[in-house]
Amino acid sequence: MEILSDNSRQSLLPSFLYSSASSTKPHFGFDTLSNANHHNDHVLRRSPSISSSPSNFVGDAAGATANKFVIQAPKEKMEMYSPAFYAACTAGGILSCGLTHTAVTPMDLVKCNMQIDPAKYKSVSSGFGILLKEQGARGLFKGWAPTLLGYSAQGACKYGFYEFFKKYYSDIAGPEYATKYKTLIIVAGSASAEAIADVALCPMEAVKVRVQTQPGFARGLSDGFPKILKAEGAAGCCCYRINGYFSSSIVQMAELEKFA
């Protein structure tokens, strides 16, 4: 099995991930670190020869912004596809998915109830009003625990396995075809990662939806998960979201192909 060369691997990654601190090539149109050291005291600097008129200052500031704005590479270079690299991707997925989904739990609660009982919850505003009246402000975060755990697991698998599968498929294809079919490899890697991520999310998603939409079912994760596990078994929890895999995979493939 052929192994990708460094250049081939780099072609699949944003350049700032593998650029060194001593590099002299500019990335994204910004000055390099060597220029940053020369201008480290000022991002926007006026030349002494320029007059202090407002028009000249605006023009000088615009030019300085374009020429002296710097994004420095990390001082310690992380080895690509090392355990530390996969750990960083996994941690980033946990933070980006788990925390954001937990933060919008009230909106998710209204959305789920509008889908289950559209006659009662006719709009977002009326949905919030009804939930506040019946459950209070604390009730708006009903289901936050399974949301946090479920989407943290999904994010960890989504971004961690995406990098793994991207390298795996690139190694199978070889340097030439990995570069030629870069988009296809990215799409295949994201679809594979999303399949695992959705299975990881399923048990917590099953608990979350029932806690949010079935009054009296459970107070939260601690008593809701045992009820579902006892009634439906592990297979029932894991199959809960399989029919939604294809739609989420399409979104995932589009996102990662665009920003990869």
Would you say 178 and 185 are in contact if contact means Cβ atoms under 8 Å apart?
yes
pTM of the full predicted structure? 0.66
Q: What is the pLDDT of residue 143?
A: 94
Q: What is the pLDDT of residue 57?
A: 44
**For residue 70, which of 103, 101, 44, 107 has the smallest C-alpha distance?**
44
Q: What is the pLDDT of residue 260?
A: 56
Q: What is the pLDDT of residue 125?
A: 95
Q: What is the pLDDT of residue 234?
A: 73
Show the low-confidence residues of the chain (pLDDT under 70): 1-76, 235-260
Give the total residue count for the chain: 260
**For residue 191, which of 161, 149, 236 has the smallest C-alpha distance?**
161
The C-alpha atoms of residue 102 and residue 97 are separated, in whole angstroms, by: 8
The C-alpha atoms of residue 236 and residue 221 are separated, in whole angstroms, by: 16
Q: Helix, strand, or coil here: 214?
A: coil
Q: What is the pLDDT of residue 73?
A: 61
Please state, in angstroms and as integers, the Cα–Cα distance from residue 240 to each residue in 2, 4, 72, 222, 244, following that order: 39, 38, 45, 19, 9
Q: What is the mean pLDDT of the chain?
A: 76
Q: What is the CA radius of gyration of the chain?
A: 25
Q: What is the pLDDT of residue 67?
A: 59
Please state, in angstroms and as integers, the Cα–Cα distance from residue 21 to each residue in 5, 30, 81, following that order: 21, 14, 19
Would you say 178 and 151 are in contact if contact means Cβ atoms under 8 Å apart?
no
Domain boundaries, the chain: 20-68, 83-259
Question: Which tokens go with 122?
Answer: 């006719």
| Neighbour-count burial for 38-48, b at 16+ CB within 10 Å, e otherwise | ebeeeeeeeee
Which amino acid makes up residue 152?
S
**For residue 153, which of 208, 106, 109 has the smallest C-alpha distance?**
208
Q: Does domain 83-259 have CATH number 1.50.40.10?
A: yes
**For residue 197, which of 142, 137, 255, 140 has the smallest C-alpha distance?**
255
Q: What is the pLDDT of residue 162?
A: 94
